[in-house]
Amino acid sequence: MILTLTNGSTFNVGYIRGDTGPTGPTGSGGGGSGSTGATGNPSGLYRRFLTTATNTTGITIGEIRVAGQTSLFYTFYIAENSHLNENQKTFIETWDDGTSSIPSQFYVKNRSGSVYAIGTFSSINTGVAAGVTYYTLVLNRQTPGTTFTILEDLFIDIVKTGDKGTTGNTGPTGPQGPSGPEGRLSGLAYIYNTTTSVPDENSPMSSGTLRFDNIASPTYIYMSQYSQNGSGVSGYVNTFDDSTSTHKGYIHIGVSGSNNIYILNLTGVTFLDGGIDSEFFQPLPDYFRLTVTAAYTGGTYPDGQAIYLSFNRTGDAGTQGAAGATGPTGPAGSGGGAAGTKTYSVFTPLDNEPPGTTFATIDTRNSISVLDFDPTVQESAVFRGIIPQGASFSSLIAYIWAMGSTAVTGDIIWGVEYEDLLIHDLDADSFATGITKAMTIASTSGFVTGITISSSNLDGITAGDPYRVRVYRAAAESGDTMLGDAELLAVEIRGA
């Protein structure tokens, strides 16, 4: 240590440091604890409730508005900028960007921390009003509605749901389940009836039933127009004979769980009137008659057996091939015969140009085209021809060939009418007065009967004229006594 004396001289003084002395006693003074600080604001986005308006007209920065305060849904309008004009867009638009299907929780509190509303988001959208960008938030409320106070400070807090987790690993394959019951056959469900007679008032066709005319080798299937469950099948069955091929397809009839099946070639489909009950004068059920030939028959079914009918259609007939080369001329005949009859036209069912209503329907019998005429409504067929040049006649004779569809007794009243196509506007029918005549049908089913009907009511038809002839069944006349459809085979027009 260096000391300096009063005279200015200096000298060094050495010393040795002693031990530290004991701590002195604590003084009696000292300051007290500071005062408690002010309560902080609740967490969340701060906005002020300034008006009870329930729309965004005139909304200002830092403002919140609400509609439906006491309903199940709140609609909040929240200004994008705070009261300090701080843009909080980035924060607000994170509220609904989670990938979980569980929505985030939404809390609205006042400055004291009291919760006014708790709920989940239904939607969040943005808009602009009076130059202020705002967000529209629809809240599915979970707490009772509360009415906010004007100039109240509100804090919106969001508890976001975490994003959806990644898909877990696929679990192990479970054990194989037991085999299901054997399915039924495909097709229309029917109840088999062992009756083989044609349906009539003594043995009418019951709904949902099917019968054969011969169980060993069926030629006809009689089936209700309704399946076992009561569903109408007419629209479907009527398509069975749509193929233009003579062979329309195959009918399959079988029983679930059995090899006892029938496979039948289908050649025609006819929808038949069931007739009238003579005792109670009520209509009997209509039915379908399918014309078939047996391809395979498995055996008999008991009465009441549940069976299933399905159909496999054949394709349409192919286009006609080119005509072959003309063959050589044959030798000359040995002599001429007598002069032929004055046949002017021959018409078959395929020549029919049916009227717009109450027309005879095309059908087949053993693959032969026929026209079916109803027993209760006057139905007709129209044929068109040309009288040959040089023909001389005062009347025309119509030769009609027909038979009963199912009946073997009774009379059919046939009528014919003529129309000259050269003297009328063809946009309307102008047939002359018709002539009718009774035909007694053959007593054996499938045999044809013919009659002639002569008429001089020709509507002015002369040689060379195109004409039409309308053939009709006068079903309303008392003399028409045959039950069931009449089947027209052919018509010939001769001069007399």
Confidence of residue 478 (pLDDT cuts 50, 70, 90): very high
pLDDT of residue 247: 81
% pLDDT > 90, the chain: 48
- Mean of the per-residue pLDDT values of the chain: 85
* Residue 340, CB-side half-sphere exposure with 13 Å CA sphere: 4
Phi, psi angles (nearest 5°) of residue 92: -65, -40
Structure tokens at 440: 């007694």
The C-alpha atoms of residue 94 and residue 372 are separated, in whole angstroms, by 79
Angstrom distance (rounded) from CA 322 to CA 313: 27
Position 82 pLDDT exceeds 60: yes
Q: What is the percent of the chain where pLDDT is above 70?
A: 86
Start-to-end C-alpha separation, the chain: 174
Q: Strand order in 411-420's β-sheet?
A: 380-386, 466-473, 411-420, 435-440
Q: Is the dihedral of CA 277, 281, 286, 289 positive or negative?
A: positive
What does the pLDDT look like over 311-345, one tens digit per residue? 998 888 777 878 878 767 656 545 444 344 589 99
Dihedral, CA of residue 38, residue 40, residue 46 and residue 49, to nearest 10: -50
Average pLDDT over residues 197-206: 92
Which residues 6+ apart lie within 8 Å of 473 measured at CB?
360, 373, 374, 375, 378, 379, 380, 412, 413, 414, 415, 480, 486
Which residue did the predictor score with more confidence, 117 or 384?
A: 384
Q: Which of 143-147, 326-330, 350-354 has the lowest mean pLDDT?
A: 143-147
What was the pLDDT predicted at 15? 42
* pLDDT bracket for residue 191 (50, 70, 90): very high
Going by pLDDT thresholds of 50, 70 and 90, the confidence category of residue 102 is confident
Please state the rounded mean pLDDT for residues 10-25.
58
Most confident of the following: 214-218, 281-285, 458-462: 458-462
Say which amino acid occupies 174: G
- The answer to whether residue 144 scores a pLDDT higher than 80 is no
